[in-house]
């Protein structure tokens, strides 16, 4: 092999033990505890009636955890279906061997995409007669029935048939011979914002609208059509939101979107974000750290340089606002978080070394840092934190 920089030939055959496979824990990585997901699903399922099904929402690569891994453990915990956002996410799960039903929660509106969905046995979400017609034609073409879920808009103003037109439209949909309606569903807009009375009434209103609609179409339970409305927060509110199935994301991953409601839940976070200390330096008092010199040391300071940054998905606006954990001790992050690295003040530690592992999210001893903490500090929601992690962070299964 030629080493380009020096233009010298280098014969690796002389070093038979030399391997180029990089340790996934060499720099920064995500650890996923599959068993935590299994336990969370089991616990959440215990809040449902026997007949109510659990759809594990694994879109956005299983909220950054690895959709395949999450699916495997969610099924072990008792989930019976998966929810994804895109055609590609569904196909990836099918090709990795998932046989159970998969619902695409996003919209497919071209014939081509709907054919691909049909061929991969993925159920699309249908929001219009036009989409129904395409599906019916596809079913007819293959001499089969196209399984799908109909969505109605009860207050989100996103996807779904308009509520007040749906009753009439449903009559037409029922006349299509080559579609199989597997489900009718809607989505809650404000269930996880229960701090305000307003959101509670919005959520109840949506439930009532959904129920009224089902009554108006003379919804026939015998037809095996599943009705579903609740996300994590909706499911935790009360049983009246459960219908035939719940679609659960955040709480399955171990985070309670409604901590103000005491559900006796002991959810276990499944994701740990870790990074190695790549370098240690000592700076004098009065020295600035990182871009813009926003942090200036107030004493002689020992800094650990961690090999993780905003290109890995740590929001830059968390600069100076987070801690990391090592051996059951918190250490403050200082200065601007850079693209690939961040600095941490370890002046008070004698045990952090080059190569030590720091925990950014998760727990170490009795210390914990949650995506909910990061979300609060960066003025966003935990969902966004979890979905921001980039592909360059390897995912390592631990149990």
Ligand X SMILES: Cc1ncc(COP(=O)(O)O)c(C=O)c1O
Residues engaged in binding ligand X (CB under 6 A): 57, 105, 187, 231-233, 247-250, 257
Nearest residue to ligand X by CB is 249
Give CA separation, 392 vs 191, 219, 316, in Å: 33, 48, 17
Instruction: Please write down the HEC assignment for all residues of 46-109.
Output: CCCCCCCEEEEECHHHHHHCCHHHHHHHHHHHCCCEEEECCHHHHHHHHHCCCCCCEEEEEECC
Which alpha helices (H) appear in 179-325, and where do they start and end?
Answer: 197-216, 232-237
Q: 246 pairs with which residues across the strands?
A: 54
Q: State both tokens at 362.
A: 């998760």
CB of 99 to ligand X, least distance (A): 22
- What b/e sequence results for 156-178 when a residue is b if at least 16 CB atoms lie within 10 Å of its CB, and e otherwise? eeebbbebeebeebbeebeebeb
Smallest distance, Å, CB 294 to ligand X?
A: 34
- Residue 45 annotated as catalytic: no
Q: Quick check: is 140 catalytic? A: no
Are 54 and 92 contacting, i.e. CB atoms less than 8 angstroms apart? Answer: no
Say how many C-beta atoms besides its own lie within 10 A of residue 142's C-beta.
13
Spot the catalytic one: 33, 45, 59, 302. 59
Question: Sign of torsion, CA 328 22 307 32?
Answer: negative
User: Which is nearest to 110 in space by CA: 144, 138, 140?
Assistant: 138
Q: Which is nearer to ligand X, 256 or 357 (CB)?
A: 256
Q: Which two tokens stand for residue 235?
A: 């499911």
Q: In this complex, which beta carbon is closest to ligand X, that of residue 151 or of residue 274?
A: 151
Nearest residue (CB) to ligand X, 28 versus 191: 191
State the minimum distance, in angstroms, from the CB of residue 204 to ligand X. Answer: 18
Closer to ligand X by CB, 93 or 105: give it.
Answer: 105
Query: 182: helix, coil or strand?
Result: strand
- Of 65 and 247, nearer to ligand X (C-beta) is 247
Q: How far is the CB of 375 from ligand X (least distance, A)?
A: 13
CB of 144 to ligand X, least distance (A): 26
Helix H or strand E encompassing 397: strand 395-398
The DSSP element (H or E) to which 151 belongs, if any, is strand 146-153
Q: What is d(CA 74, CA 94) in angstroms, rounded to the nearest whole number?
A: 16
Catalytic position from the list 291, 353, 368, 390? 291
The C-alpha atoms of residue 93 and residue 98 are separated, in whole angstroms, by 6
CB nearer to ligand X: give 115 or 150.
150
SS3 390: coil
CB of 128 to ligand X, least distance (A): 17
Least distance (Å) between residue 243 CB and ligand X: 13
Q: Between 232 and 388, whose beta carbon lies closer to ligand X?
A: 232
- Helices within 96-162 (DSSP H only): 111-119, 129-142
Which of 138/245 has CB closer to ligand X? Answer: 245
Residue with tokens 């051996």: 327
> Among all chains, which residue has been given the structure tokens 């391997």?
19
Question: Minimum distance between the CB of residue 181 and ligand X, rounded to whole angstroms?
Answer: 17
Enzyme catalytic residues: 59, 291
């Amino acid at each position: 092999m030629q080493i380009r920089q020096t233009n010298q030939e280098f014969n690796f055959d002389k070093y038979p033990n030399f391997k180029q496979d990089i340790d996934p824990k060499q720099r920064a990585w995500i650890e996923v505890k599959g068993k935590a997901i299994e336990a969370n699903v089991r616990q959440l399922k215990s809040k449902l009636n026997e007949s109510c099904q659990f759809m594990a929402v694994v879109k956005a690569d299983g909220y950054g955890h690895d959709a395949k891994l999450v699916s495997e453990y969610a099924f072990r915990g008792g989930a019976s279906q998966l929810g994804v956002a895109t055609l590609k996410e569904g196909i990836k799960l099918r090709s990795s061997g998932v046989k159970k039903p998969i619902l695409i929660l996003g919209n497919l509106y071209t014939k081509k995409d709907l054919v691909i969905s049909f061929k991969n046995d993925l159920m699309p979400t249908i929001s219009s007669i036009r989409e129904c017609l395409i599906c019916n034609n596809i079913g007819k073409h293959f001499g089969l029935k196209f399984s799908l879920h109909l969505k109605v808009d009860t207050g989100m103003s996103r996807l779904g048939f308009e509520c007040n037109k749906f009753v009439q439209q449903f009559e037409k949909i029922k006349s299509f011979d080559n579609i199989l309606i597997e489900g009718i569903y809607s989505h809650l807009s404000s269930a996880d914002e229960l701090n305000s009375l307003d959101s509670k009434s919005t959520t109840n209103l949506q439930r009532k609208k959904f129920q009224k609609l089902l009554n108006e179409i003379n919804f026939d339970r015998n037809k095996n059509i599943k009705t579903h409305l609740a996300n994590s927060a909706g499911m935790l509110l009360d049983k009246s939101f459960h219908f035939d199935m719940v679609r659960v994301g955040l709480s399955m991953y171990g985070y309670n979107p409604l901590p103000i409601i005491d559900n006796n839940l002991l959810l276990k976070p499944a994701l740990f974000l870790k990074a190695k200390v790549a370098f240690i330096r000592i700076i004098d008092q009065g020295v600035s750290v990182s871009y813009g010199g926003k942090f200036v040391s107030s004493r002689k300071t020992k800094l650990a340089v961690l090999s993780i940054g905003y290109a890995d998905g740590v929001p830059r606006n968390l600069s100076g606002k987070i801690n990391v954990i090592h051996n059951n001790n918190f250490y403050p992050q200082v200065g601007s978080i850079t693209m690939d690295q961040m600095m941490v003040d370890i002046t008070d530690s004698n045990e952090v070394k080059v190569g030590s592992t720091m925990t950014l999210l998760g727990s170490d001893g009795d210390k914990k840092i949650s995506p909910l903490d990061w979300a609060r500090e960066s003025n966003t929601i935990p969902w966004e934190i979890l979905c921001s992690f980039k592909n360059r962070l390897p995912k390592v299964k631990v149990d």
